[in-house]
């Protein structure tokens, strides 16, 4: 199982290994990851956006906060 720990990792997965390059949640997740890098959004927002993109693309995902 792949573990994603940072918004950079999430963005890289979205850009290189995602099953689709379309979808509202996909596009939002990319933008929010960029916004986190720019310091205008919080990492938790990127996490939630990534989860929504996974659901939209029917990518199995397990979430946990430690």
Is 52 a domain residue? yes
- Its pTM stands at 0.91
Rounded Cα–Cα distance for residues 52 and 56 (Å)? 6
> How do the pLDDT tens digits run along the chain, 66 residues long?
688 999 999 999 999 999 999 999 999 999 999 999 999 999 999 999 999 999 999 999 888 765
What is the number of structural domains in the chain? 1
Is 63 a domain residue? no
Is 24 a domain residue? yes
Residue 2's pLDDT is 81
Is 65 a domain residue? no
Residue 28's pLDDT is 98
Residue 66's pLDDT is 52
CB-CB contact of 11 with 32 (8 Å): no
Residue 60's pLDDT is 92
Is 42 a domain residue? yes
**52: domain range?**
7-56
Q: Residue 50, class by beta-carbon neighbours within 10 Å (0-12 exposed, 13-18 middle, 19+ buried)?
A: buried
């Amino acid at each position: 199982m792949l573990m994603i720990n940072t918004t950079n990792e999430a963005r890289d997965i979205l850009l290189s290994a995602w099953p689709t390059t379309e979808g509202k949640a996909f596009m939002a997740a990319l933008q929010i990851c960029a916004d986190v890098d720019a310091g205008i959004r919080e990492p938790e927002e990127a996490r939630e956006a990534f989860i929504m993109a996974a659901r939209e693309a029917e990518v199995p995902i397990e979430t946990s906060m430690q």
